[in-house]
Amino acid sequence: MPERPNERWSLDFVSNAFTDGRRFRVLAIVDDFSRECLALVADTSLSGLRVTRELTAVMARRGRPRTIVSDNGTELTSMAVLRWYQETRIYWHYIAPGRPMQNAFVEAFNGSFRYELLSETLFSSLSEAREKITASQDDNNRNRPHSSLGNLTPQEFAMKSRLETKAA
């Protein structure tokens, strides 16, 4: 069973291209407990500083996680990220190089995200990509039940868990 809400978030990047061949990346932040996609950030460049800004924004909405899990990519081992997690005192766990299964929740999310949206859609601009990616995030969180969550959507599961925690 995954850890309780706000215990552990996983993050990773997915790359794609516009119809003209230019590349863009998407930062995915997933709550391992509820399988909610907390953020999908699309841009042509995503630095460590940008990652920390996005994490800070998610924390403002959701509260602090105990742990963040990621690979050892350059933007995730940058001085900006190292400074951020020291200042926030959030434990950052780096998976072993070449072992994506150690970050299974976000890897599974990214696989579905790539299969269901990125591989099936031609994006001509960043604004179009952001619009469709935001709609995909909303669909995942609100409309798609997960068998691992008792066939509830991630938002339903998270709400149920919060209510159970308050009642206990």
pLDDT in tens, 37-64: 999 999 999 999 999 999 999 999 989 9
How many structural domains are present in the chain?
1
Domain-located, residue 1: no
122: domain CATH number is 3.30.420.10
Tell me whether residue 63 is in a domain.
yes
108-167: pLDDT as tens digits: 899 999 999 999 999 999 999 999 999 999 999 999 998 889 999 999 998 888 888 777
Tokens of 53: 């800004």
State pTM to two decimals: 0.91
DSSP structure string for 27-47: EEEEETTT--EEEEEEES---
Side chain identity at 112, as an amino acid letter?
Answer: S
Establish if 3 belongs to a structural domain.
Answer: no
Q: Which amino acid type is present at position 53?
A: R
Domain of residue 65 covers 8-167
In a domain, 61, yes or no: yes
What is the distance between the alpha carbons of residues 166 and 168, in angstroms, rounded to a whole number?
6
